[in-house]
Amino acid sequence: MDFSYTADEEAFRARVRAWLLANVPAPGSLTTLDAMRAWQRKLHVAGFLAVAWPKEYGGAGLAEMQQAILNEELARVRAPQVVNAMAIWWVGPAIMRYGTDAQKKRFIPPILSAEEIWATGYSEPTSGSDMAAAKMRAVRDGDVYVVNGQKIWTTLAHISDWYFVLVRTSTDGPKWAGLSLLLVDMKSPGIEIRPIRQIDGGSDFNEVFMTDVRVPVTNLLGKEGQGWEVVSSALVNERTGIAGSVRFDQALDWLSTTVRGRGKASDPRVRQRLAELATKAAIVRYSGLRTLTDSLRGRMNPHLSAAMKLTTTQLTQEFSEAAMEVLGPWATLMEDAHAPWNGRWPRQWLYDRSMTIAGGTSEVQRNIVAQRILGLPRDRGSNTVGKG
């Protein structure tokens, strides 16, 4: 195995590092929507945004290896996520693939400039992980669809301008066959957004209620009944690569600092736990490199993203759980002035509870791995449907 980089790749890494050194915002400084938009625009102007997008759509047009290096360097300096990340990962690529010329011209440019923020609406209260069971109904009425129903766990709906939403346009045939994808203006009459107070104190997730919302037929993405294909194609763009290993290296360093700070560096049980986490972090690192190599060689198995998602989100939780054990009674302090490291670990631990749910539950990922990688028979008694 050759882990070295070419001279051109190292030169690109040096350019990225120099730019980030001069431009990355200070931690916690992006406190307003305008500041978040400005950071995304700065990345775009520098050619470090939507790196996988073709240049014809405003993307950076970088090679896959350059994209991986950029992601690694952004993770290394803990650069803030861009505010329109979901549009760049999912919405934009879907519009490029399934949209009309008019839709591409209208919707793609404001995504990159962050002029229009997008939310994605898949989950519903009664569907769980069974995305194909979506009930939000869209009924054709002349040149509009009339939409009624509820979505839940919609990230950033409260600041979004547009909604990439899965709706049911038919009840005929298999349940997945009656789904369609609409592009909905969030300012439309009949839309109500209710923030959900999360366990860590934040409220990035929302409930979205739609009552007789009228959506132009021209905002149908693809064809009626093609929604399942559109969404499944979009979700493939959420991949875990070598940047994930950098985050685990940082987590290991942070955890080691916590261990030393609590005077437990000589505790054999704690040392063993650190060794186990370091080993798992190394496995993720080399698995990410193998996945990248497979992709570069054109032998990428798209279902491996499920295995990587399953592994990395569980490991994320293991790091914060280990830290809470090291802190002991002090782990109960989050807002208190005496909280170690300003309560950073308790907040992280609470937030990490969502990691094995968001982006596809661990149960769904196990089904995908079992059926599509290992070739195991499907459990006919289960109604859980994977996102593939």
pLDDT band at 106 (very low <50, low <70, confident <90, very high): very high
Is pLDDT of 241 > 60? no
> What is the per-residue pLDDT for 200?
73
CATH architecture of 117-226: Beta Barrel (2.40)
Phi, psi at 165, each rounded to 5° = -125, 135
H/E segment holding residue 286: helix 268-296
CATH code matching the domain that covers 7-83, chosen among 1.20.1250.20, 3.40.50.150, 1.10.540.10, 3.40.50.720:
1.10.540.10
pLDDT band at residue 28 under the 50/70/90 scheme: confident
Q: Coil, strand, or helix at residue 338? A: coil
The tens digit of pLDDT for each residue in 316-375 reads: 999 999 999 999 999 988 877 788 878 889 999 998 988 888 777 888 889 888 988 888
Instruction: Return the closest-CA partner of residue 89 out of 111, 116, 69, 121.
Output: 111
pLDDT tops 80 at residue 202: no
**Domain ranges within the chain, ordered by starting residue:** 7-83, 117-226, 243-373
For residue 223, what pLDDT is reported? Answer: 96
CATH number given to 243-373: 1.20.140.10
> How many CB atoms within 10 Å of residue 287?
19
Distances in whole angstroms, Cα of residue 19 to Cα of each of 39, 40, 69, 241: 13, 14, 14, 22
Structure confidence by residue, pLDDT tens digits, 51-64: 878 889 999 888 88
Computed over every residue of the chain, the mean pLDDT equals 89
What is the torsional sign of CA 256, 270, 75, 36?
Answer: negative
Would you state the pLDDT for residue 344? 87
Residues in the chain: 388
Cα distance between residue 87 and residue 49, in whole Å: 12
| 3 state SS of 375 | coil
Mean pLDDT of 64-82: 90
Q: Which of 238, 318, 321, 363 is catalytic?
A: 238
Round to whole Å and give the CA distance between 296 and 28: 35
Residues 359 and 306: their CA atoms lie apart, in Å, by 10
Active site residue 238: yes
Task: Please check the confidence at residue 383 and state whether its pLDDT lies above 70.
Answer: no
State the Cα–Cα distance between residues 37 and 113, nearest whole angstrom. Answer: 8
Q: Which position has the token pair 């520098």?
A: 46
